A and B are shown apart, each in its own frame.
Chain A
């Protein structure tokens, strides 16, 4: 995936469309936006950094997973098999990008008022006592759709595609616009590239 920081306006559309797609519990964000300030007034820059699982080629989470729950899927997508996850959370420690969440117990968005019909439907798909994270919307992708955050991005800052194909739009954007990984020195070879502001 390529995220164009020049196009991103920090509207939180990715964070919230991801939540709507997956019905993630309170406090869990497979996609999120971090705002950061640089410089001092008046030479200030406010930047919006959309974050998600980087689906690293050498994923530290897969390496440390004792059960094989964290695994690589087709096209390099890193996913978690909830039936194999024992909730040891070693992967959360290992992931340098904070992309993983431990889902300890079911919580409601309207505390003390029960689950909404939407939450009842969506939370039934989540297992408690396991780790959750972004899987690039693999169900959407296998049925020919883009990940929810990509399809919805109102400023079209996100492009999804095959980084192994040098002719793909993502590869060309990385090449032409100087795409960079976030903290590549950590050595996990992330598969999400950012285009400069």
Chain B
């Protein structure tokens, strides 16, 4: 029936994981405009170029409208599946039969893959995985490239997924491979507004990055750096601050970190004989006492004492001694940043930190440390991602600029809830050895405490590597070798994919396609047929974000809710227009599969926990619920019986003011964070024993409790003909490989000088006899090649080539995207050697040469 109304529907953007709040204008049944929703803190009524372009993604004539089944039994990259249309019943009958067999046999044979682009799949698919009983689930590419290190360190130090400078009060921020506030990512639109305010206010921004593009273009100072060497520069800055400037926040270190914990010659804590708690040296009483002894006035940060029969020193003293070797002169040849620049920036950072200063906000006197060191994908997307991020984070920690006014803020690690209900409520709490456990988290396992390593039973081997979220073996060349080595008792038999295009997003597509072709049965929820769908057995037509319902697009708040003072907002996502064709929302389909598989009890139990359903809104284990009903219960559970789905459909969002002690929570919450990773010592011993028993070589250096700069494979390439470092960067116009099919964004990219080209330093290009626009190949030492046109530019380090986004599609079913831009990931090896032996992160910088 035609819809003859003219209405604005409040909902949520689904074109990236920033998930800004939107208003969709529907006129006589046609979506004619998408604007930001000014009633929500998430975007504050403004959208990026992608957000306003969602109309063209929604109305893409290449959308899948019916379930499809492959007829060609041969699977491979670029092989035509021979799609035939089938009914939903046929599709679900076959999927159920396959899943039932796997569940009866070994549920771990189910492999669930999600996209990071659309976050609404996270809760339903994680709950389904839990109910089914598989630990094998990942966000394809996302974790390996951008999450394992940055989010781990964000969680350990800030109880949050990511961090930003306190844009309202920060005076000096230094970004390492991050673009917060300059066009993309978590909280993109609100951050853009806040970063612009900070710029006009006069916040100094130093951006350390191989390319001068987004944040670096707006920076007060761009510091070009060689890819993958961030730890070298950061450690040299720590050295300058601790040895040349001699500035640190002793009170913060003594009370909010493990800096005073005494460490023995075995590099482990010296513990109280009775309580086993780490000891600190009480300077006033001249004796060692447990770290949480309430009588301690000042725990010593330096010194050396005989304690329990060993020579014991505070962790801070060890850190100080450890970094002495990392002088700016040591760092310069590694990272190419001149020693004098490193020294100057370190001095500026330490001076601007104003250690000891306080400020009164809302009647409360609070520490004021207006500096922030921020790291993200650029620093973290490497084999050495843990130490890169750890070293940078130390800058915040030594001057006490963490979750205090002006400093580096986690995204909302403390929330005391709506004033009327006190929900959602969470705050970090002290865990083993007094170190912080996050109040809420995004992934199933917390950053801390670190579980004991075990012989791995997951596809990712994460049991042996408890610091990793996802592992390369989910799609690596050597997965079979590693699984055999660790006697993995099963192999993936069924994969359910939600919107990810892992052929483009993980690494080179040949390797990924080989791993997928080995999986006997793949189901894929897709908007359009992608390069990945070509390897699927059944494709199910998904709804677009404009046809979908989700009660929690911005939950948890540590993921994509604006940090800093202001308002809390909990918006919903709801259909702006009704689904066309036979499209069905994946969460509804999953619920049908739950019933068909007879796992309703398990699913409802997990949903109660995962969604924090309470009181009368808990799900009865026996009863069947629609996803709408579950969403309604989640909202009522948090905001009261009168504010269920109907209320949210009308209002779109609920907002309430933040409290000072939520935003600047550090002085109020009794938790400590580790400036010395003592837990790595024990972890190393246990994990190494298991690894060696299975023939895996091991290098202790990756498990040192203090950070180092360790080379990526690209830094060790001996053949000098490979003379350039390749990297990719997040283009403000695109999200992963998904938005390349949007013709408005594609058009903008074609006009942009860099979006679809290979950025090469102009002088380097001229030396090679290249001209602007010339087509070239980039070749890796492993013989992998990608083609594109060079853009000779002054905006890039002379040793580098920079490629925007994750483009270079070839599927005929994506006629707008096909043949545009470059698939940088095709240069990446996906194997053990190119992953981190600590957190399983994939290395994303590659040494290349240009071939004409």
A46→B212 contact, CB < 8 A: yes
A155→B36 contact, CB < 8 A: no
Q: How far is the CA of A64 from the CA of B422 in the complex (A)?
A: 66
Contact with B along A145-166 (1 / 0, CB 8 A): 0000001111111000000000
Knowing that A116-B56, A118-B59 touch, tell me 8 more A-B residue pairs with CB under 8 angstroms: A9-B183, A12-B732, A13-B47, A16-B745, A17-B49, A27-B747, A44-B222, A152-B46
* A16-B53, A16-B748 known; A11-B193 Cβ under 8 A: no
* A11-B732, A13-B48 known; A110-B748 Cβ under 8 A: no
B193→A154 contact, CB < 8 A: yes
The verdict on A105 contacting chain B, using a C-beta distance below 8 Å, is no
Q: How far is the CA of A16 from the CA of B50 in the complex (A)?
A: 8
Contact with A along B747-770 (1 / 0, CB 8 A): 110011110000001110000000
Q: How far is the CA of A48 from the CA of B193 in the complex (A)?
A: 16
Give every chain B residue within 8 A of A122 (Cβ-Cβ). Answer: 32
Partner-binding segment picked from A33-41, A130-138, A182-190: A33-41
The verdict on A73 contacting chain B, using a C-beta distance below 8 Å, is no
A11→B183 contact, CB < 8 A: yes
Partner-binding segment picked from B108-116, B383-391, B537-545, B792-800: B792-800
29 contacts between A and B (CB under 8 A): A4-B196, A6-B200, A7-B196, A10-B217, A11-B732, A13-B46, A13-B51, A16-B52, A19-B52, A19-B53, A37-B793, A37-B794, A41-B224, A41-B797, A41-B798, A45-B217, A109-B744, A110-B743, A110-B816, A116-B59, A116-B60, A117-B31, A152-B35, A152-B36, A152-B46, A152-B52, A154-B46, A154-B193, A156-B197
Contact with A along B152-186 (1 / 0, CB 8 A): 00000000000000000000000000000111000
**Majority-rule SS of B interface residues:** mixed
B46→A16 contact, CB < 8 A: no
Give every chain A residue within 8 A of B212 (Cβ-Cβ). Answer: 44, 46
B752→A42 contact, CB < 8 A: no
Interface size on B, residues (CB 8 A): 66
* A6-B199, A110-B815, A152-B52 known; A41-B47 Cβ under 8 A: no
Nearest Cβ distance between residue A44 and chain B, in whole angstroms? 4
| A interface residue count range (under 10 / 10 to 19 / 20 to 34 / 35 or more) | 35 or more
Q: How far is the CA of A120 from the CA of B30 in the complex (A)?
A: 10
Nearest Cβ distance between residue B223 and chain A, in whole angstroms? 8
A-B pair number, CB within 8 angstroms: 160
* A6-B200, A26-B747, A155-B192 known; A48-B217 Cβ under 8 A: yes
Which residue from chain B places its CB closest to the CB of A155 in the assembled complex?
B196
The verdict on B34 contacting chain A, using a C-beta distance below 8 Å, is yes
Give every chain A residue within 8 A of B197 (Cβ-Cβ). Answer: 156
* A35-B752, A39-B794 known; A121-B30 Cβ under 8 A: yes
Give every chain A residue within 8 A of B195 (Cβ-Cβ). Answer: 9, 155
Which of the residues A26, A44, A153 comes within 8 Å of B795, measured between beta carbons? Answer: A44
The verdict on A83 contacting chain B, using a C-beta distance below 8 Å, is no
The verdict on B189 contacting chain A, using a C-beta distance below 8 Å, is yes
The verdict on B33 contacting chain A, using a C-beta distance below 8 Å, is yes
Q: How far is the CA of A114 from the CA of B53 in the complex (A)?
A: 18
* A154-B46, A155-B196 known; A9-B55 Cβ under 8 A: no
The verdict on A191 contacting chain B, using a C-beta distance below 8 Å, is no
The verdict on A81 contacting chain B, using a C-beta distance below 8 Å, is no
Nearest Cβ distance between residue A172 and chain B, in whole angstroms? 14
Contact with B along A94-125 (1 / 0, CB 8 A): 00000000000000011101101111111000
Which residue from chain B places its CB closest to the CB of A46 in the assembled complex?
B217
The verdict on B214 contacting chain A, using a C-beta distance below 8 Å, is yes
Q: How far is the CA of A155 from the CA of B188 in the complex (A)?
A: 10
Q: How far is the CA of A156 from the CA of B182 in the complex (A)?
A: 13
Which residue from chain B places its CB closest to the CB of A116 in the assembled complex?
B59
Give every chain B residue within 8 A of A113 (Cβ-Cβ). Answer: 61-62, 815
Give every chain A residue within 8 A of B193 (Cβ-Cβ). Answer: 154-156
Give every chain B residue within 8 A of A114 (Cβ-Cβ). Answer: 61
The verdict on A15 contacting chain B, using a C-beta distance below 8 Å, is yes
Which of the residues A10, A19, A48, A156 comes within 8 Å of B744, measured between beta carbons? Answer: A19
* A35-B753, A46-B213, A151-B35 known; A12-B192 Cβ under 8 A: no
The verdict on B27 contacting chain A, using a C-beta distance below 8 Å, is yes
* A17-B47, A44-B222 known; A116-B189 Cβ under 8 A: no
A13→B49 contact, CB < 8 A: yes
Give every chain B residue within 8 A of A157 (Cβ-Cβ). Answer: 196
Q: How far is the CA of A32 from the CA of B744 in the complex (A)?
A: 12
A154→B48 contact, CB < 8 A: yes
Nearest Cβ distance between residue B479 and chain A, in whole angstroms? 38
The verdict on B624 contacting chain A, using a C-beta distance below 8 Å, is no
Q: How far is the CA of A11 from the CA of B755 in the complex (A)?
A: 12
Give every chain B residue within 8 A of A17 (Cβ-Cβ). Answer: 35, 47, 49, 52
* A13-B52, A110-B61, A155-B196 known; A20-B34 Cβ under 8 A: yes
A41→B762 contact, CB < 8 A: yes
Give every chain A residue within 8 A of B196 (Cβ-Cβ). Answer: 4, 6-7, 9, 155-157
Give every chain B residue within 8 A of A45 (Cβ-Cβ). Answer: 217
Which of the residues B48, B53, B59, B222 comes within 8 Å of A20, measured between beta carbons? Answer: B53
Q: How far is the CA of A12 from the CA of B34 in the complex (A)?
A: 15
Which residue from chain B places its CB closest to the CB of A42 in the assembled complex?
B224
